[in-house]
């Protein structure tokens, strides 16, 4: 349904996204996960035809977002991060207007507007001016706006931002209910949100896709251990045995043991621990030379960790 | 067509559901009304004096031309008041949508940029037409108490309509450049004032340059309309001015898309 190939976009000297490629099947719910400023919104804006890409192609329902923008826009419901609502209109009038410009036929328009309001639970405020609505209601009006013409593809930028926990649950349930009939891409920087709503996750960091998998697989990978790389000058066997005895060490593997008396090791410990101090002390106390000690670069985990720390603040 | 109509309808409703339309119309009518009163009393006084003089010399009382002496200056005054008020009508059209983010809805909906642009422009023209139509009440007073000629009044209103259309087109353009409505209105005002006064310097430059500058002056072209002359060259001038404004707006929107700016 959505096919993105080598998409890049520059803003002046800043590369917002670089060489992003992914595919989304019909009826799938896919989550864009990444910290703020990762390029989620830029990718979505290109898909919706709001801004063109610098290079690369993107197709929605077989239409190129650049060449056949109007065809793509007919098939997309888009909710930007800030709900694009006109404060001086009532909910009714606003959704009617959106339905009109989305090309909904006059005969079914009223019905479609009613359905959309029903789906997101704003029927009770339909006669109110949007400027008098709370943030949560405005967010839902924004969601109704994306749904009103029954689009094949829904693109939701941070759909739960600014909602209270109860509303967040409702919106998540709503999005889950859209699976099958609609293809959904939603962006979020909240890890559990994707595991709750999405069938597949695309993790974006600094403008690049760093991982793409099901939420379960990614969580399993996240639970992996801390790893340190060490290079020690000393007898390989003794070093390994001694370090194995350091409390907290789960596993040691010898990467390289040259004849010159140096040994390179990878030390694993459980997630969240830092054994560098203990390991260094042990090596020095034994009179060996510590040539290197560094944590293994784990970009995916880094991203996740970032997300997890942010999530703790909003966890309920 | 349906998209254009939807945009137009929303913009017109937004004008008339907010105080903006009423405030602008009210002050435009109030200022025009005061000047109408002043011009008319001046005219009445002059004709009174002329009649008295005529009686003194035992001559026929002269018939002063109300079209020339009251309506023409009135039309010129209204052209000036429109310059003050119309930037306030156009300033929000794009700037507000950029500020609130609703522009993102319009630009990702299956409507073309030109449909949006024309819808917004036409909405402003509708508001301006209402403003002008209401000032016609003043002219009706003249018909009740005198015998003005209708022709020059109608041609004057056609001129006002075209002139105001030119103001609005560039107002739309300046609104598309910024998300700040004050900046949009101020630059529109400055720009139009420049093109209004550009002919005045013609006396200080060489004759050929002066003629060119005069040709670009917005108000020079209005004079014939106020006199009762409908000349196609003036109509073409205003229409090309309007087209230029709308075209620049279109370019500005396209460029904002490419730059990824709002």
pLDDT digits (tens, 9 = 90+) for B82-132: 999 999 999 999 999 999 999 999 999 999 999 999 999 999 999 999 999
Q: Do A86 and B14 touch (CB under 8 A)?
A: yes
Positions of chain B with pLDDT lower than 70, given as ranges: 261-262
Same domain assignment for residues A267 and A211: no
Strands laid side by side in the A200-205 sheet: A76-79, A153-157, A183-188, A29-33, A200-205, A208-213
pLDDT 10s digits, A213-262: 887 776 666 656 677 888 888 888 888 888 888 888 877 878 777 777 88
Same domain assignment for residues A128 and A63: yes
Of the three residues A221, A247, A263, the one that is the final residue of a domain is: A221
Same domain assignment for residues A120 and A191: yes
Quote the pLDDT of residue B169. Answer: 97
Q: Which residues of A touch B107 (CB under 8 A)?
A: 49-50
Shortest Cα distance from A103 to chain B (angstroms)?
7
Of the three residues A165, A195, A221, the one that is the final residue of a domain is: A221
Q: What is the mean pLDDT of residues A159-172?
A: 82
Distance CA A35, CA A39 (A): 9
Of the three residues A221, A251, A266, the one that is the final residue of a domain is: A221
Quote the pLDDT of residue A73. Answer: 92
The answer to whether B14 contacts chain A (CB < 8 Å) is yes
Who among A51, A70, A93 is closest to B110 (CB)?
A70
To 10 degrees, what angle do helices B150-177 and B72-90 make?
Answer: 20
SS3 call for B218: coil
Same domain assignment for residues A150 and A19: yes
Answer yes or no: is A102 within a domain: yes
Give yes or no for residue A78 having a pLDDT over 80: yes
Q: Which residues of B touch A89 (CB under 8 A)?
A: 10, 13-14
The answer to whether B112 contacts chain A (CB < 8 Å) is yes
Quote the pLDDT of residue A315. Answer: 47
Answer yes or no: is A315 within a domain: no
Same domain assignment for residues A146 and A50: yes
Who among A11, A71, A145 is closest to B260 (CB)?
A11
Give the nearest chain B residue to A155 (CA atoms). Answer: B108
Shortest Cα distance from B15 to chain A (angstroms)?
10
Q: Which residues of B touch A85 (CB under 8 A)?
A: 100, 102
Give yes or no for residue A313 having a pLDDT over 60: no
Shortest Cα distance from A157 to chain B (angstroms)?
12
Distances in Å between the Cα of B30 and the Cα atoms of A72, B59, B68, B81, B160 are 50, 40, 23, 11, 18
Q: Do B109 and A73 touch (CB under 8 A)?
A: yes
Residues paired with residue A3 on neighbouring β-strands, in sequence order: A23, A59
Q: Please report the ipTM that was assigned to this predicted complex.
A: 0.87
Q: Which residues of B touch A102 (CB under 8 A)?
A: 109-110
Instruction: Look at A35 and A50; give whichever has higher pLDDT.
Output: A50
- Residue from B7, B20, B100, B108 to probe the interface with A (highest A Cβ count within 10 Å): B108
Q: Work out the mean pLDDT of chain A and round it to a whole number.
A: 84
Answer yes or no: is A314 within a domain: no
Same domain assignment for residues A186 and A261: no
In the A/B pair of chains, how many CB contacts fall below 8 A?
Answer: 75
Q: Which residues of B touch A88 (CB under 8 A)?
A: 14, 17-18
Distance CA A147, CA A150 (A): 5
Q: Which residues of A touch B112 (CB under 8 A)?
A: 70
Answer yes or no: is A307 within a domain: no
Answer yes or no: is A45 within a domain: yes
Q: Do A49 and B105 touch (CB under 8 A)?
A: no
Q: Which residues of A touch B4 (CB under 8 A)?
A: none
Quote the pLDDT of residue A281. Answer: 87
Who among A11, A48, A86 is closest to B108 (CB)?
A48
Who among B14, B102, B110 is closest to A102 (CB)?
B110
How much of chain A, in percent, has pLDDT values that exceed 70?
90
Q: For residue A139, give the H/E element and its range.
A: helix A135-147
Same domain assignment for residues A186 and A55: yes
Give yes or no for residue A193 having a pLDDT over 90: no
Domain that holds residue A103: 2-221
Who among B10, B104, B112 is closest to A80 (CB)?
B104
pLDDT interval class at A309 (50, 70, 90): low
SS3 call for A170: helix
Q: What is the CATH number of the domain that holds A151?
A: 3.40.50.300
pLDDT interval class at A310 (50, 70, 90): low
pLDDT interval class at A106 (50, 70, 90): confident
Name the CA dihedral angle for B172, B174, B176, B179, rounded to a multiple of 10 degrees: -120
Q: What is the mean pLDDT of residues A132-156?
A: 91
Query: A140-154, A294-308, B29-43, B78-92: which range is least confident on average?
Result: A294-308
Quote the pLDDT of residue A280. Answer: 87
Same domain assignment for residues A156 and A12: yes
Give yes or no for residue A316 having a pLDDT over 50: no
Answer yes or no: is A185 within a domain: yes
Same domain assignment for residues A95 and A181: yes
Quote the pLDDT of residue A197. Answer: 83
pLDDT interval class at A81 (50, 70, 90): confident
Angle at B85 (CA atoms; ends B141, B132), nearest 5 degrees: 35
Quote the pLDDT of residue B141. Answer: 87
Q: What is the CATH number of the domain that holds A248?
A: 3.30.70.1340
Q: For chain A, how many structural domains are there in total?
A: 2
Quote the pLDDT of residue B191. Answer: 95
Same domain assignment for residues A99 and A217: yes
pLDDT interval class at A273 (50, 70, 90): confident
Phi then psi dihedrals of residue A164, to 5 deg: -85, 165
Distance CA B76, CA A268 (A): 87
Q: Do B110 and A74 touch (CB under 8 A)?
A: yes
β-pair type (A153-157, A183-188): parallel
Q: Do B101 and A82 touch (CB under 8 A)?
A: yes
Q: What is the mean pLDDT of residues A284-297?
A: 83
Q: Which residues of A touch B108 (CB under 8 A)?
A: 48-50, 73, 76, 78
Give yes or no for residue A311 having a pLDDT over 60: no
Q: Do B3 and A73 touch (CB under 8 A)?
A: no
Residues paired with residue B5 on neighbouring β-strands, in sequence order: none
To 10 degrees, what angle do helices A135-147 and A106-120 make?
Answer: 140
Answer yes or no: is A176 within a domain: yes
DSSP single-letter state for residue A75: T
Give yes or no for residue A127 having a pLDDT over 80: yes
pLDDT interval class at A301 (50, 70, 90): low
Same domain assignment for residues A120 and A71: yes
Who among A73, A87, A89 is closest to B110 (CB)?
A73
Shortest Cα distance from A313 to chain B (angstroms)?
28
Same domain assignment for residues A212 and A238: no
Answer yes or no: is A305 within a domain: no
């Amino acid at each position: 349904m959505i096919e993105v190939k080598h998409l890049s976009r520059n803003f002046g000297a800043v590369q917002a996204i670089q060489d992003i490629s992914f595919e989304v099947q019909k009826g799938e719910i896919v989550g864009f996960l990444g910290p703020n400023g990762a390029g989620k919104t830029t990718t979505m804006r290109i898909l919706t035809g709001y801004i063109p890409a610098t290079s690369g192609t993107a197709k929605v329902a077989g239409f190129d977002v650049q060449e056949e923008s109007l065809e793509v826009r007919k098939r997309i419901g888009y909710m930007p991060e800030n709900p694009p609502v006109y404060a001086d209109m009532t909910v009714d009038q606003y959704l009617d207007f959106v339905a009109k410009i989305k090309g909904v036929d006059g005969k079914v328009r009223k019905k479609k507007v009613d359905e959309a309001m029903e789906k997101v639970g704003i029927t009770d405020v339909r006669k109110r001016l949007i400027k008098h609505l709370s943030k949560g209601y405005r967010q839902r009006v924004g969601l109704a706006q994306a749904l009103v013409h029954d689009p094949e593809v829904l693109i939701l930028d941070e759909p739960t931002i600014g909602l209270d926990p109860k509303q967040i649950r409702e919106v998540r349930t709503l999005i889950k209910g859209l699976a099958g009939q609609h293809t959904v891409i939603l962006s979020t920087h909240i890890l559990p949100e994707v595991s709750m709503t999405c069938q597949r996750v695309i993790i974006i960091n600094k403008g690049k896709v760093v991982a793409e998998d099901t939420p379960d697989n990614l969580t399993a990978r996240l639970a992996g251990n801390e790893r340190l790389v060490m290079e020690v000058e000393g007898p390989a066997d003794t070093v390994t045995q001694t370090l194995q005895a350091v409390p907290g060490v789960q596993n040691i593997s010898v990467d390289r043991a040259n004849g010159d008396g140096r040994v390179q090791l990878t030390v694993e410990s459980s997630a969240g621990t830092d054994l560098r101090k203990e390991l260094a002390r042990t090596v020095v106390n034994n009179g060996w030379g510590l040539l290197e000690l560094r944590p293994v670069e784990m970009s995916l985990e880094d991203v996740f960790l970032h997300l997890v720390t942010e999530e703790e603040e909003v966890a309920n | 067509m349906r998209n254009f109509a939807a945009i137009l309808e929303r913009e017109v409703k937004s004008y008339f559901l907010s105080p903006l339309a009423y405030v602008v119309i009210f002050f435009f009518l109030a200022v025009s009304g005061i000047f109408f009163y002043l011009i008319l009393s001046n005219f009445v006084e002059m004709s009174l004096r002329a009649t008295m003089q005529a009686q003194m010399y035992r001559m026929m009382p002269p018939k002063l031309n109300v079209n020339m002496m009251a309506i023409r200056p009135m039309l010129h005054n209204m052209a000036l008041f429109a310059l003050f008020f119309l930037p306030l009508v156009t300033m929000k059209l794009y700037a507000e949508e950029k500020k609130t983010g609703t522009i993102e809805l319009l630009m990702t909906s299956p409507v073309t940029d030109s449909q949006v642009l024309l819808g917004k422009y036409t909405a402003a023209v509708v508001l301006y037409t209402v403003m002008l139509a209401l000032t016609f009440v003043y002219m009706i007073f003249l018909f009740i108490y005198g015998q003005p000629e209708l022709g020059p009044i109608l041609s004057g209103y056609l001129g006002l309509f075209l002139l105001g259309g030119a103001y609005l087109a560039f107002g739309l353009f300046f609104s598309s450049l910024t998300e700040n409505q004050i900046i949009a209105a101020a630059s529109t005002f400055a720009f139009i004032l420049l093109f209004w006064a550009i002919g005045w310097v013609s006396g200080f430059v060489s004759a050929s340059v002066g003629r060119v500058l005069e040709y670009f002056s917005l108000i020079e072209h209005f004079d014939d309309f106020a006199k009762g002359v409908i000349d196609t060259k003036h109509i073409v001038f205003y229409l090309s001015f309007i087209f230029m404004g709308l075209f620049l707006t279109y370019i500005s929107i396209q460029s904002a898309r490419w730059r990824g700016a709002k």
